[in-house]
Amino acid sequence: MSLVDLERRLARLEAARYVGVPTAILSDHPIGDTAGDLRADDALANWQRWTAQGRATVSNGVLCLTSPELTAEEWAERFVTAH
């Protein structure tokens, strides 16, 4: 493989990579309340900081927000109901 072939391959990979501001937001929890809306606004405004801190990722222009993982006790408290 020649240097020209490698440069073409690199140019093709770089062209396919998304490098702009996110155009949509996706979350693993509801955003509809006031606190969630403020969090979403902050995430969109400061998306580079959020991704650097590992609190969000960007994939094809979509900002994906993730919540911190729950401990076993937090999960049981939130999702397990007494019968």
Residue 4 maps to a domain: no
Residue 30 maps to a domain: yes
pLDDT tens readout for residues 70-82:
788 988 888 888 7
Query: For the chain, what is the domain count?
Result: 1
pLDDT tens readout for residues 10-38:
888 777 666 678 888 888 776 766 666 78
Domain of residue 62 covers: 21-79
Residue 6 maps to a domain: no
Residue 1 maps to a domain: no
Residue 54 maps to a domain: yes
Residue 8 maps to a domain: no
Residue 10 maps to a domain: no
Q: Find, among 39, 41, 48, 32, the residue nearest to 68 by Cα.
A: 39
Residue 2 maps to a domain: no
For the CA atoms of 53, 45, 69, 79, the dihedral, rounded to the nearest 10 degrees, stands at 170
Confidence (pTM): 0.57
